[in-house]
Structure 1
């Protein structure tokens, strides 16, 4: 006698076999594609794209006197761009301008502007008038002085306005100023420096994290709008880089110097709309967003923030 299993199982074996074979083939193809794409981005790169001949004579960098901003200004000058440096302190601007001019032999221009204010953009527009801008690096930004609960952030009312003006409004307004001529020439690149903190919520740095998420979404939306116009708009999401803002003094493999980070990031322009900019950071981004469950990541990030907050407050009491 035949049981129902004798009839059903043979009928299922062949479809299940082909389903498994197709799934395995698809996963293999996806893996090969990812490996080839990663090789193209992180080994071959696209460094020849970011040049004055392909994008335009001038590069504009905000927050250009320290850290990542200064590194962008120096690297772009090394590649032959004339540089417009925009930051708050004219004294620091003059120092960086002189340094870049002597090292790279390119033309420089400075514009002193405090991005915590919103009435600066007519002055910046006048300063950029007549320049063929090939690259804009929207780098200026601020974070918390230490991790803190939202309602306990010192001088919260003013802090909200200042952070939004610097981290969000500046990106929108600077883009407004340079994008028209880029679309007219059908070439140019806008690099918006977001943060890995914008890839997922970071408790106790909530306003900062949310502002960087805005920069990321703003960049990706604009890229979809203006890709057909020949303009590259890239969202850059670094993890920790050894800068004053991060309070990291010594570079390591996963916390590179600004110079090392920027040299790697510029090779991704035109290859990735959204990038962590640096291979170790890309691996960290993949692990934190694709592998770790959101609840575990949130608990881990919250624990780190609470620990940093406790150390800061303890140090303040001792001081």
Structure 2
């Protein structure tokens, strides 16, 4: 064997041995379902998928049922830890904190589908916990403010969010407060809707989905506490895929939207509805390269190793590998 090749193989083996993750093939992960029952029908699964993000009943059974089982065990363990802490602090009347799950990953990777499938599965556990889902889009700065700051081409980057408002929201949720309000975002008008809000009222589990939810803040020079969004998470999931696949999925989604949402006169992207396909591909490719790819490299991909679980997709959106962080 070539010496350089042998050295490269050895280095890869060392990297795997040093990894904080335990990695499973699709088949190995599917075997961890045990006796977790399937509670969704094929029709229900179809209704949960996002545009251009196909998901099958088999995918739910192989990937999401074992994940649902794992999360049920983690939630139970966390509740036990909470009760132990209550006893230690002699604070038996303290409200239970919701279990918060973060879902991160690139544009077009399928975060919304994963979040909705998990919500549906977790809400059907035998004890039927209250499960809510929130995207961080509502915490984007309004378009008028982004334009004022020259950030419209940076929409989706960390600086385009009202991070302070998001942190205050998560703090209130973790404190067990009732009727916590979050801004509502419309993908149709591509903006925060003035005066409209989403109300989250003491869920057992809250799923928070967004591009940059695992992004750390800058570390303080003086040692003062600066909270990260992910500090409020009990578990986090990163959806991963090859850059070429993400690019293709983004283009395909843009082309499909020309025939659906973009045709609505109220759509922010209505001007793209009548484009010829070649022109539409060129525009989508420009948006991907100029904005989304830069955000992926600078902000999204570097957070992958901060996740509790990494779901690695193949070219057909099928999850081929699962990496679970070691405890």
Q: Same fold (TM over 0.5)?
A: no
More strand by share: 2
Bigger RCO (CA 8 Å, 6+ sep): 2
Could you state the TM-score of these two structures normalised by the residue count of structure 1? 0.30
Find the structure with the greater CA-based Rg. 1
More helix by share: 1
